């Protein structure tokens, strides 16, 4: 648990730095709080005016969106540095400085990122809206549903983190990840805020098996909100926590392949 201790130390240093400059901190948190607040409100308004989207009411949609934002924000806190900076670190040769230390590169990079405040806003909004939504949903949540919810959140974080790690790894093959990241986390990400059932078959397959983001929020929502209809939905839903772990391990494997390639080709 060396990483946890490092991270706690890092966060305390980070918060102290921000206290010295509180305006930056609150401005950062507020700007992002605001933008996600707008997202939730917009979705809320749409759902309200249509009554529901394909059978999903306001509370359902909020949970669907919330799982997504939570996974994205927490992964972002940990791994956005890896996605957006690693190519610079490789080009400048600074990656060597990480490699001479006795700790994993990704763990070190997690405690380099100075964007914690950018993700605190969305996390705060989400917690508020989701708590509201869980009070509204019409049936009783059991201990098992809460356990499943926790597992689903962790798995969502693992999948989003895995996606970020794979994107960051592209840098080892001289592909700049930023552009791809902005497509993936921008437009594509928006789609998964809506129930997958409203999309054509092809897109549904794509988000389930290719870019497995429906596993982050859609399938878990089906299970929690008791909307499962087909066997496939049930199986994918139940297995989604496991898939999160698998995808994360896969992403670490890709990253290590990249590192090997780096040691093989060298930096100037």
Cβ at position 97, least distance to other proteins in Å: 5
Is residue 1 a contact point for other proteins (CB under 8 A)?
no
Of positions 35, 41, 92, 178, contacts other proteins by CB under 8 A: 92
Distance, CA of 143 to CA of 64 (rounded, Å):
20
Restricting to residues 9-48, which ones interact with other proteins according to CB under 8 A? Answer: 9-10, 13, 17
Is residue 103 a contact point for other proteins (CB under 8 A)?
yes
Of positions 57, 94, 193, 267, contacts ligand ADP by CB under 6 A: 267
Distance, CA of 206 to CA of 191 (rounded, Å):
12
Is residue 114 a contact point for other proteins (CB under 8 A)?
yes
Buried b (16+ CB within 10 A) or exposed e, 219-256: bbbbbbbebbeeeebeebbeebbebbebbbeebbebbe
Which residue do the tokens 């990122």 mark?
A: 113
For the range 255-262, what are the long-range contacts, defined as Cβ-Cβ under 8 Å and sequence gap of 24 or more?
Answer: 255/105, 255/106, 255/165, 255/166, 255/168, 255/169, 257/169, 257/172, 258/169, 258/171, 258/172, 258/173, 259/99, 259/105, 259/172, 261/172, 261/173, 262/90, 262/95, 262/172
Residue 118: exposed, middle, or buried by beta-carbon count in 10 A (0-12, 13-18, 19+)?
middle
Restricting to residues 148-177, which ones interact with other proteins according to CB under 8 A? Answer: none
Of positions 24, 52, 88, 97, contacts other proteins by CB under 8 A: 97
**Is there a contact between 73 and 65 (Cβ–Cβ < 8 Å)?**
no
Is residue 173 a contact point for ligand ADP (CB under 6 A)?
no
Is residue 96 a contact point for other proteins (CB under 8 A)?
yes
Distance, CA of 221 to CA of 210 (rounded, Å):
19
Is residue 268 a contact point for ligand ADP (CB under 6 A)?
yes
Is residue 264 a contact point for ligand ADP (CB under 6 A)?
no
Is residue 264 a contact point for other proteins (CB under 8 A)?
yes
Cβ at position 100, least distance to ligand ADP in Å: 16
User: What is the rounded (10 degree) CA torsion for 4, 246, 66, 30?
Assistant: 40
Cβ at position 95, least distance to ligand ADP in Å: 12
Taking CB atoms, the residue at the shortest distance from ligand ADP is: 266
Of positions 37, 44, 108, 245, contacts other proteins by CB under 8 A: 108
Residue range at the interface with ligand ADP (CB under 6 A); choices 28-36, 151-159, 186-194, 260-268? 260-268
Is residue 193 a contact point for other proteins (CB under 8 A)?
no
What, of other proteins, ligand ADP, none, does residue 101 touch, CB below 5 to 8 Å by kind? other proteins
Is residue 91 a contact point for other proteins (CB under 8 A)?
no
Interface residue list for ligand ADP (CB under 6 A): 266-268
Interface residue list for other proteins (CB under 8 A): 2, 5-6, 9-10, 13, 17, 92-94, 96-97, 99-103, 108, 111-112, 114, 262-266
């Amino acid at each position: 648990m060396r990483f946890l201790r490092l991270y706690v130390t890092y966060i305390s240093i980070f918060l102290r730095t921000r206290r010295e400059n509180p305006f930056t901190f609150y401005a950062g948190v507020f700007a992002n709080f605001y933008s996600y607040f707008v997202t939730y409100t917009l979705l809320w308004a749409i759902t309200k005016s249509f009554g529901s989207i394909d059978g999903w009411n306001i509370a359902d949609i909020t949970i669907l969106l919330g799982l997504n934002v939570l996974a994205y924000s927490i992964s972002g806190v940990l791994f956005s540095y890896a996605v957006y900076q690693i190519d610079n670190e490789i080009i400048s040769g600074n990656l060597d400085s990480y490699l001479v230390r006795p700790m994993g590169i990704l763990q070190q990079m997690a405690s380099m990122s100075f964007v914690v405040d950018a993700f605190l806003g969305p996390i705060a909004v989400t917690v508020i809206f989701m708590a509201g939504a869980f009070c509204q949903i019409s049936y009783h949540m059991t201990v098992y549903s809460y356990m499943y919810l926790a597992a689903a959140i962790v798995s969502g974080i693992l999948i989003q983190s895995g996606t970020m790690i794979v994107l960051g790894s592209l840098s080892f093959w001289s592909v700049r990840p930023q552009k791809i990241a902005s497509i993936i986390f921008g437009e594509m990400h928006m789609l998964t805020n809506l129930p997958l059932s409203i999309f054509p078959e092809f897109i549904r397959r794509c988000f389930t098996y290719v870019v497995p983001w429906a596993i982050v929020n859609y399938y878990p929502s089906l299970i929690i909100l008791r909307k499962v209809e087909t066997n496939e939905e049930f199986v994918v839903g139940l297995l989604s926590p496991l898939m999160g772990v698998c995808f994360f391990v896969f992403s670490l494997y890709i990253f290590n392949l990249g590192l090997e390639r780096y040691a093989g080709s060298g930096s100037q």
